[in-house]
Amino acid sequence: MRKTNFKHANRLIAIVALLLISAGTLSACTGYKIKQYPDTPSAYAVTPVYNIPVLTAESDFYPNPDRGFRGETYITLGTDEAFPESGETYTERLEAQLEKYSSEGVTVLQCYVYLYEYRHTPIPDEALDQLKNYFSTLRDKNVKILLRFAYEYTSANKDGPRTSDIITHCAQLKTFFEQNIGLYRSVVYAMQLGMIGLWGEGHGNVNALNKARIIKAVADMTPEPTVIMVRTPELLSLVPDELEHRFSIHDDFIVGFDHEWGMISFEDPAYPLLLSKCKHTVTDGEMPWGRGNVEGTTAQGVIAQCVGYGLSTLSLEHNYTEDGGEYYLKQWQALFLDGDFFTGNGYPLNPNLLSDGKINVFDYLKHHLGYQLTVSDFEAGNGKASFMITNYGMAAPHGYKMKIYVDGAEVAPDNAFDGGSLLMFGQSVITFGYDGGRIGIELYKENSPSDKIKLYNDVPFENGVNVIVG
């Protein structure tokens, strides 16, 4: 851990320098190629009637997969280090992150896989075996990862891969994923483009790189339907039309206002297009390091930006507790906002989670990042039953399907459930044949069936099935 501080400081200094150089270009740039997506609802069409018990602010909460706050971990293939020159092993880093965030119910980690040792050579089999063992460890610990491959880790080192090196590695990794597809799907929540520049963030690369070729190679290596996030609208604009549906962004400078270091100006004509696209896919973000002290940051502004993107996950490693200091996300555990603030601004809010009409900012983000599902309005009669499912989260439960059981036997609903269509403010009524008996709802990920969603209802959760009528 001793050298971790050096890495963080080095990273912050490099980011400041690079962004100061490029800020004017990023802010003033227009003409991004961003596809127009349909507008999402701005309010709930129906006020739920909760005749099925719900969780409240005092409840114990089950940590659902693929959403919420996330941690950050690293592995440098070919060594036992977390990131190069860290002075920390990758095992120590993983264990420290899981311990640090155990009380917060974190189930997602951003995982940097550094390929620096092989920047000019193919990845050897023993390194791929190391990656397989690491994935197995993550699976055993019930961790999902936001995966990023990277090479360059400090601006002081003037050695990095060439385009041909990256293309070779992508082909190797494609084969690796194909050979270990079950393990991959059980672990990888989403992919980040990575590969390019410092920390895989798409800038500061030592060698000139063909970014368009790398984008295609990463898309080819990544199993569908995994979403691939890029760091900037410039990179998103390089994505070919036929691959556009597979790509999203990750905003690594969320401060809640139109800052000159941001990846796109809020005034840019492409900004609302970007927000609309993000709401239809998986999007991630992080605040800058707390010790960077970006003046003007407010909880209200950060909430607005997170909702604007429809974020699925947000880093808790940044701006929470760092080296003994407590920063915004930690401080906001003591900052309470009225429910009217959220509803008045058109932000999703589960009113059942309010205490005395309020919720603290940290808990709001903890529960509303990604999806948050409840069922209500249960009705039964004349051989039919129905319920309404409401998403109180910022993002849809992408990739999730539903099974309904009556007395343990699966029954086919009249209308199929597709989690990807239950966007922010989404509601859907599900109807099925019913003549009485115990009703269970299983919400499972199609490509990773062991991933199950626990509803924000105070009902039994038995082997991944929510028992709404018992």
Q: pLDDT, tens digit, for every residue of 306-318?
A: 999 999 999 999 9
pLDDT of 293: 82
Does residue 3 have a pLDDT over 70?
no
Reported residue count of the chain is: 470
Does residue 146 have a pLDDT over 50?
yes
* Average pLDDT score over residue span 292-318: 96
pLDDT of 31: 86
Does residue 25 have a pLDDT over 90?
no
pLDDT of 30: 57
Does residue 18 have a pLDDT over 90?
no
Convert the pLDDT of each residue in 172-202 to its tens digit: 999 999 999 999 999 999 999 999 999 999 9
pLDDT of 176: 98
Does residue 69 have a pLDDT over 60?
yes
On average, the pLDDT of the chain sits at 93
Q: Which residues pair with 72 in a beta bridge?
A: 110
pLDDT of 343: 96
Convert the pLDDT of each residue in 81-100 to its tens digit: 999 999 999 999 999 999 99
Distances (CA, A) of 442 to 226, 408, 439, 445: 22, 11, 10, 10
Least confident residue range of 9-18, 164-173, 410-419: 9-18
User: Cα angle at 163 between 161 and 169, to 5 degrees?
Assistant: 75
Indicate the pLDDT class of residue 28, thresholds 50, 70 and 90.
very low
Cα 262 to Cα 24: distance, rounded to the nearest angstrom: 10
* Average pLDDT score over residue span 358-385: 98
Convert the pLDDT of each residue in 210-258 to its tens digit: 999 999 999 999 999 999 999 999 999 999 999 999 999 999 999 999 9
% pLDDT > 70, the chain: 94
Asked if 468 and 459 touch (Cβ cutoff 8 Å), the reply is yes
* Average pLDDT score over residue span 258-274: 96
Cα 80 to Cα 125: distance, rounded to the nearest angstrom: 16
Whether residue 269 is preceded by a cis peptide bond, meaning omega within 30 degrees of 0, is: no
Does residue 9 have a pLDDT over 70?
no
- Prediction pTM value: 0.92
18: number of Cβ within 10 Å: 17
Convert the pLDDT of each residue in 96-118 to its tens digit: 999 999 999 999 999 999 999 99
Single-letter residue type at 313: T
Beta pairing class for 108-114 and 144-150:
parallel
What is the token pair recorded at 172? Answer: 């190797």
